[in-house]
Amino acid sequence: MEENRCKFWLPRKNRSCANAPLNGSPFCGNHKPRSDSQWIPCPIDPSHSVLQENLEGHVKRCPLLKQTQSLSLQPYYQKGINAGKEEDNAITSEMKRIAVYSMTVSEFYELIKKIESIHATICDDISESYKIPEACNMWIKREVDSKLPFQEKHVKQQASIIGNLEYFGVINSSLVKEQCDVEGISLDKIDSRPAVVEFGAGRGYLTQMLADCYGIDRVFLVERKSYKLKADRSLRQKESLILERLRIDIEDLNLNAVESLRGVPFLAIGKHLCGPATDLTLRCCLSEQDSERSMEQCHDNDSLKGIAIATCCHHLCQWKHYANKKFMVDLGITKEEFHAITWFTSWAVDADHGSDLSVDSSLLLQSLEEEQHGGDVNGIEDVVRNMKAVERAVLGFMCKQIIDMGRMMWARERGLETQLVKYVPSSISPENHLLIAKHAKCS
């Protein structure tokens, strides 16, 4: 009966909500109008909100309460261990936008000039490196379990991440034999292959491809969220494979305290680690003390064999979390300018990525000034509005590369051989930067 239904109209279904209304209200609990001021983040899990008046009862029955309590008892849980030393609050995208639009036109142009100059100085060796290894042919040719999800663009990205690991000398089919020959270690004293730790693993299909194609036999999937259709079920069907899923925020993970990983050689991988997750992962794998170690100590902590991180969503980056603040400061970039640079990165997806978007950092500012010359420009909003999509994209890509170069240099300072490459064409994904590194040989 209509009178026993919530009165909230669902236009897509062309009917009212079928739920029962609350006592004294024409609406159900989902659709009862409430002011935003009544809602506050849940103290157990800020990803969802709760009515302030219901807070006391909610914290006793929050679905994530048991998980949080269980996690806090784990030896590898250490709140904020990888967050960075800054105490600043997170800066939202809206706050970044307001700061940019508060600039004068001359300040805006000066910042673009600085970005162009820095980019031309430090980002001249980012090469194209689209590598599809033969070992991944079973995935490329769809010769895998038909129940596994298959999207061509994701498969190509995953394969190229793995291909770059092989090309850079981190993994190959004869890894064990070469390691034994070089280091004089007998086969019975080492694992057959390094373990894999996938950060921001999601459903875990990057690890699935490594396990299928390279025989990886020990994997750790680090992910704070819960997912359906995970690769876990398929991975667990491999009799020789050991799988652990760590449901934890990378920010709070003390990797050295994961008992089953201690002393085990491992690779750290991640496909599309959004915003600060890349910085958190680098800190998780490379402690702050690593940069202070002498060359004589180089082999003391070499369990980390390599890193491959596909970065993305640079607009979410935070000064608080960024790994190489010193790098930015030495380049003359202030905290406020860093946040503006991260905001510009969202423009990298503005243009048609089927076309050529090669970055010409010497012509962008000149082009902008010519376009604005003699025009009716009243402020930054007019400048931005008059920019072409390709100009915004070029500026966005320059900013992305500067941010990632700082991360690469941070890893290099900690004793790794590093490289930043474009691992897939922009037509496959505009988020195509791969930070790859391996443990440097000590002399």
Model confidence over 270-287: pLDDT tens digits? 998 999 999 999 999 997
Mean pLDDT across the stretch 110-133? 93
In this predicted structure, the answer to whether residue 363 has a pLDDT above a threshold of 80 is no
What per-residue string of b and e applies to 75-86 under the rule 16 or more CB within 10 Å gives b?
A: ebbeeebbbbee
Q: pLDDT tens-digit profile of 43-59?
A: 877 777 787 878 888 88
In this predicted structure, the answer to whether residue 293 has a pLDDT above a threshold of 60 is no
- Domain residue ranges of the chain, discontinuous segments joined by +: 1-33, 93-174+192-290+301-439
Q: pLDDT tens-digit profile of 399-416?
A: 999 999 999 999 999 999
Give 184's pLDDT tier (boundaries 50, 70, 90). very low
Q: What is the pLDDT of residue 376?
A: 57
Give 123's pLDDT tier (boundaries 50, 70, 90). very high
Give 169's pLDDT tier (boundaries 50, 70, 90). very high
Whether CATH 1.10.3290.10 fits 93-174+192-290+301-439: no
Q: What is the pLDDT of residue 239?
A: 86
Mean pLDDT across the stretch 3-23? 85
The Cβ of residue 209 has, within 10 Å, a number of other Cβ atoms equal to 24
In this predicted structure, the answer to whether residue 339 has a pLDDT above a threshold of 80 is yes
Percent of the chain surpassing pLDDT 90: 51
Mean pLDDT across the stretch 192-215? 91
CA distance 174 to 102: 57
Q: Report the chain's mean pLDDT, rounded to a whole number.
A: 84
In this predicted structure, the answer to whether residue 3 has a pLDDT above a threshold of 90 is no
Give 179's pLDDT tier (boundaries 50, 70, 90). very low
- For 426, the token pair is 């922009």
CA distance 119 to 346: 17
In this predicted structure, the answer to whether residue 371 has a pLDDT above a threshold of 70 is no
- Is 144 buried (19+), middle (13-18) or exposed (0-12) by CB count in 10 A? middle
CA distance 410 to 330: 13
The Cβ of residue 383 has, within 10 Å, a number of other Cβ atoms equal to 20
- For 290, the token pair is 């690593």
In this predicted structure, the answer to whether residue 427 has a pLDDT above a threshold of 70 is yes
Give 351's pLDDT tier (boundaries 50, 70, 90). low
